Structure 1
Amino acid sequence: MQGTRHHLINFIPKLLAATSTKRLRIYRTLLKVIAHKAVPERPGRSEPRVRKRRPKIYPLMTKPRHELRKQLQTA
């Protein structure tokens, strides 16, 4: 992410100063540079493929909270 930001910051002045034909070539070069940037090894960054949210027995909140509170108080 940080490397991509640095490349983009470096390319912006070139993109702004270029004609439309050259701008497209510079843009494609920028995309190639970003695509070839290697992602560093990140040990201990594996995540299990599971669903985080469990089904609940309660219905979805379909009205604003203040309306539901008022409805609960009058019931």
Structure 2
Amino acid sequence: MVWELVAMWAIVVATFIWFFRDEKRVKADAALERAARYYAHAPQFRYTVAEPAETEIAKPARRTGGLSADQRAFIKDYIKS
């Protein structure tokens, strides 16, 4: 007789746990759907194509000269010594 009461209470407890877990999952799914609907239709999250900036590409600076007269004189003196 005792095992029958234990079995009935086990079924009741399992049913309550199953019910509350299912209700919690339903609420979580509804919240996720609301969030997805918000992000799908909110204007600040919509995809927009960025227009490319029309800027002129700068040409690399041209090197002028090379060594100065002082530098050439220094190198010549260095090579001689």
TM-score normalised to the size of structure 1? Answer: 0.29
Q: Which has the larger radius of gyration?
A: 2
Q: Which has the higher contact order (CA 8 A, sep 6+)?
A: 1
The structure with the greater share of residues assigned to helix is: 2
